[in-house]
Homo-oligomer: A and B are copies of this chain.
Amino acid sequence: MIVVMKSRCNKEEINAVIRRIEEYRLTVHISEGVEHTVVGILGQIPPELQERMELLSGVEQVIPISKPYKLASREFHPQNTIVKLNDITIGGDEIVVMAGPCAVESEEQLLTTALAVKASGANILRGGAFKPSTSPYGFRGLGVEGLKLLRKVSEETGMPVITEVMSPGDVELVAGYADILQIGARNMQNFSLLDEVGKTQKPVMLKRGLSATIQEWLLAAEYILSQGNEQVILCERGVRTFETYTRNTMDVSAIPAIKKVSHLPIIADPSHATGKWHLVTPVSLAAIAAGADGLMIEVHPNPDLALKDGAQSLTFDNFSKLMSQLTTIAEAIGRKLAATGVEASP
């Protein structure tokens, strides 16, 4: 950590800074610049020290040097984390595609969709049983009934399922039915929930918050990792900006940025990022070209009758076209789509 003193600070102020640092049994290193004296602090620095130093008289600015996350950092864990699920690997050479309806509505809707997306090459079934809704009057999901349908269709199709958990009290319940636990964007900093999923042995897919920086996102992952759960998958789903044509703004450069600073797998969710079905295919191809390890795509048998997020859902036909273009792009960058899960028993 570096303490930059004001250009007009006096000797006594510098000494007070030094004394404070030494109270923490840290080492001090002074450097006198043309305009500013700079005090370096060496040693294991407690998190609250930055703000405390900022308040001392004569201090202009305090600059942290070390990254605040460790377990999520590539610096401390150079090899890619690879999450395994049956035959599927996430974070290795393969590209995974999680597809399915925004919300589970009925057994027929879910099974039809699962069979269709699997036939087109999807590996994992997505579907919401507990749904976040901006309005209390919107559809909030089938709850436990939805979880049971997900499990049933998973067994019939051999596809692992991913579904969202919204409350710490529901983690055990949802983990009983799901293969991957999803933390939604609005809950990225729901720390009680992060602690709870960190205590399970299930892979967790952590969506980026609407206005979360890359650093905050990795610190949220660090919550889960520090509870002992190493199977964390990140999901870029667009951030909030001033642009209103799209629902959110897909931050495509976050994909290679995460690959640089972290070892965790990252997938992209173009459905929520764009909010418009006709943008889903080009943005999916872009995410894979940028290095994403997979996609999460909303597909519905009849988007114009969906209970939720119809406007961003692909039809079976459009999903099938997307998958065929995806195969070509994956090859172009030297990767391939993962297999479509354990075959259903005959």
Task: Give residues in A with beta carbon < 8 Å to B.
Answer: 2, 4, 6-8, 20, 29, 31-36, 38, 40, 42-44, 47-48, 51-56, 61, 63, 65-66, 68-69, 75, 132-140, 166-170, 186-187, 189-193, 209-211, 213-216, 219, 222-223, 226, 239-246, 249-257, 260, 270, 273-274, 277-279, 282-283, 285-291, 303-311, 325, 328-329, 331-333
Most buried by B among A32, A56, A63, A240: A240
Q: When the two chains form the complex, which single residue of B219, B288, B309 contacts A51, counting CB atoms closer than 8 Å?
A: B309
- Give how many copies assemble into the complex: 4
CB–CB B285/A287 < 8 A: no
CB–CB A138/B282 < 8 A: no
Contacts of A253 in B (CB 8 A): 246, 249-250, 270, 273-274, 279, 282-283
State in angstroms the CA–CA spacing of A72 and B313 once bound together.
Answer: 29
CB–CB B136/A226 < 8 A: yes
CB–CB A304/B48 < 8 A: no
Q: Show 5 residue pairs from A and B whose CB-CB distance is below 8 angstroms, ordered by the A residue.
A: A47-B135, A135-B219, A239-B242, A282-B290, A285-B333
CB–CB A65/B48 < 8 A: no
Given contacts A244-B213, A278-B256, A332-B328, contact A4 B286 (CB under 8 A): no
Given contacts A7-B75, A249-B253, contact A34 B38 (CB under 8 A): no
Contacts of A249 in B (CB 8 A): 239, 241, 249, 251, 253
CB–CB A289/B285 < 8 A: yes
CB–CB A256/B239 < 8 A: no
Q: When the two chains form the complex, which single residue of B54, B68, B134, B331 contacts A219, counting CB atoms closer than 8 Å?
A: B134
State in angstroms the CA–CA spacing of A157 and B38 once bound together.
Answer: 45
* Beta-carbon nearest neighbor of A300 in chain B: B55
CB–CB A32/B42 < 8 A: yes
CB–CB B274/A189 < 8 A: no
Contacts of A139 in B (CB 8 A): 47-48
* Beta-carbon nearest neighbor of A274 in chain B: B253
CB–CB A135/B242 < 8 A: no
* Beta-carbon nearest neighbor of A32 in chain B: B42
Contacts of A136 in B (CB 8 A): 191, 219, 222-223, 226
For the complex formed, measure the closest distance between the CB of A195 and the CB atoms of chain B, giving whole angstroms: 8
For the complex formed, measure the closest distance between the CB of A32 and the CB atoms of chain B, giving whole angstroms: 7
* The 8 A-B residue pairs with the shortest CB-CB distance in the complex, in nearest-first order: A211-B211, A167-B192, A289-B289, A286-B286, A286-B290, A285-B289, A256-B282, A332-B332
State in angstroms the CA–CA spacing of A242 and B254 once bound together.
Answer: 13
* Beta-carbon nearest neighbor of A186 in chain B: B189
CB–CB A51/B222 < 8 A: no
CB–CB B308/A48 < 8 A: yes
